[in-house]
Amino acid sequence: MVTLLETIFVTIIGVVGFTLGIIVYTKAPLKKANQIFFVFTLCVIVWILSASFSEIPEDLKISLILSKVTYFGVLLAATFLFYFSFYFPKEIILKTGLKFFTGGVTFIFSLLTLFSNSVIKGVIPQPWGFDLDFGNMYSLFLIYCILLVIVAFRNFLKNLRISSHLEKLQLRYLFLGIIIFVAASIIVNVIVRAIVGSDIYYRFGNYSAIFLVIFTAFAILKYHLFEIRVILTEILVGAMGIVLFLLPFLMPSLNLKTLTFLVFLLFLIFGYYLIKATHEETKRREEAERLTVQERVLRDEAERIAIQERALRQRSEKLVREFERLDRAKTQFLLATQHHLRTPLSIMKNYASMLLEGTYGKLGEIVKHPLSGIYVSIERLIKVVNEFLDVAQLQLDKGVLKKAKTDMINYLKKEIIEELLPSAKEKGLYLKLEPSKEKIPEIMIDQTKMKTAIYNVVDNGLKYTQKGGVTIKLQIVNGKLQIVVKDTGIGIKKEEIAELFEKTFERGKEAEKLYTTGRGIGLYISKNFIEAHQGKIWAESEGEGKGSTFYIELPRT
């Protein structure tokens, strides 16, 4: 028999379920998951209410109809749970074939349940009410419903793997609802039934479906932001409210009615503040949760950027390596070409010289003149090739020095003055080494490279001087050795000084007029070789026509 308390209880279940259905639906009426949930909730309510009300009437015919409606509700609830699982929390593909097949089977079972005796045959009167007599299709019906729930469960599990953190929490609520429902059903319908030996309490198993509704609603509404304690408070306040609201109607006297109604009003005020407090709590929690999610998003973003940066760095490193390789190849090519140029040029020069000297017989005066022209041109060409070769060599093995202890005075005399003196004399210029005041120590230098460096500077002095000459001096300044090359030539403009060493092919205006075949490479090479020795080179000049002084500074070790 259904007691008054049970009626109230069932009413509460109905109201709670319906309210949740409406809330979920109105939150996002266009979302498939929310729509399906609403229908699912209605099915569960039909199922629970008809199960309960089937116990009330005296007329067993009505009980039979209501029992059939109950099973109809169960069937629809299972079907919609099945559909729901394809849309929550992520949408996964529900094949049209499967959709219509399930719809069709459910439709047939609905007809069989409602309008035939194949699922539910009849009712058997019992002292407490009745037991159900099942038809021959009942087992199939049951298997079908269980299958739907299993597929739904499998979908949720599948979803769990690909879900975000938030969706996982949602699914956890859903699982909690399912577990409570299934556990309660098993306890009531299997365990209690086995103990009592009849279906007397089977309705209570049905009532537990409300947990499924409640937790699913929480899951959809993302109620995970609450603590379970807060959720329970809300349910309790709601349930108490409904009980207190119904109580006055059930009271026998007016006094009691008034009293209970007053209690209800008091409770409303209390409930209002309680719920308000929980909502504020929710807001705070939501904010905290939002921040956490934001932080996680930012962290993910930072990680992504770091990965990109690493990839870019790797690419740029690769490019640098590639560039270096190409650069080396280019220099190697240049060197090879120049070697091949120098050898035939030297041979030509030798033959020209031997011809001029009369090794192959005496030459007539008419031939001698053009032959000298050829000889001078070849010599100039060799010089050009050597300069280019120096640049290439410089780039190839910048830092590679073959150092040897060197007495600089003798070195300058032998390698520079002796070699350049003839051309100085030819121009009517002097070239001298001024004696040093202090003792000049021996230093470590790469003699070949240093020769090129100093030679260029002294040669320039002679080239850009028309009267007077060039003086070389060695001195120690701040513990370093300085080679000072001073000439009485055309001088250098202030604005040109800085540029002289910086770029190749850079030439002064005056110099171009005086010496047209210069290429502006010499000083660039000198600077690089000197810097390879940890030294410095710079120039000073009072201005045009006032001569120039070049300083080469070298460390003593």
Interface residues with ligand ADP (CB under 6 A) are 456, 460-461, 464, 487, 489-490, 492, 500, 507-508, 511, 518-524, 548
Backbone angles phi and psi of 177, in degrees to 5: -60, -45
CB of 497 to ligand ADP, least distance (A): 9
From CA 118, how far away is CA 108, in angstroms rounded? Answer: 12
CB of 524 to ligand ADP, least distance (A): 6
CB of 494 to ligand ADP, least distance (A): 13
CB of 298 to ligand ADP, least distance (A): 57
From CA 180, how far away is CA 212, in angstroms rounded? Answer: 8
- Residue closer to ligand ADP, measured from CB, 224 or 527: 527
Cβ–Cβ < 8 Å for 392, 337: no
List beta partners, residue 132. 123
From CA 437, how far away is CA 482, in angstroms rounded? Answer: 13
Q: Which of 384, 387, 547 is nearest to 464 (CA)?
A: 547
Edge-to-edge strand ranges of the sheet holding 469-477: 430-434, 469-477, 480-487, 548-554, 536-541
Q: Which of 491, 488, 455 is nearest to 471 (CA)?
A: 488
CB of 546 to ligand ADP, least distance (A): 10
- Residue closer to ligand ADP, measured from CB, 17 or 489: 489
| Angle of the 96-115 helix axis to the 138-162 helix axis, nearest 10 | 150
CB of 468 to ligand ADP, least distance (A): 12
**Beta-carbon contacts of residue 526 (< 8 Å; ≥ 6 apart):** 452, 453, 454, 456, 457, 501, 537, 552
| Angle of the 418-427 helix axis to the 447-463 helix axis, nearest 10 | 10
Q: Beta 480-487 vs 548-554: how paired, if at all?
A: antiparallel
- Residue closer to ligand ADP, measured from CB, 271 or 489: 489
- Residue closer to ligand ADP, measured from CB, 34 or 456: 456
User: Coil, strand, or helix at residue 376?
Assistant: helix
- Residue closer to ligand ADP, measured from CB, 516 or 557: 516
CB of 477 to ligand ADP, least distance (A): 21
- Residue closer to ligand ADP, measured from CB, 119 or 523: 523
- Residue closer to ligand ADP, measured from CB, 543 or 555: 543
Residue with tokens 């349930």: 239
Cis peptide before 89 (omega within 30 of 0): yes
The strand ranges marked E within 345-499 are 403-406, 430-434, 443-446, 469-477, 480-487
- Residue closer to ligand ADP, measured from CB, 142 or 384: 384
- Residue closer to ligand ADP, measured from CB, 463 or 533: 463
CB of 316 to ligand ADP, least distance (A): 34
Cβ–Cβ < 8 Å for 59, 125: no
- Residue closer to ligand ADP, measured from CB, 248 or 518: 518
From CA 429, how far away is CA 443, in angstroms rounded? Answer: 30
- Residue closer to ligand ADP, measured from CB, 39 or 385: 385
CB of 349 to ligand ADP, least distance (A): 21
CB of 518 to ligand ADP, least distance (A): 3
DSSP 481-547: EEEEEEE-SS---HHHHTTTTTSTT---HHHHHH-TT--S-HHHHHHHHHHHTT-EEEEEESSTTS-
CB of 315 to ligand ADP, least distance (A): 39
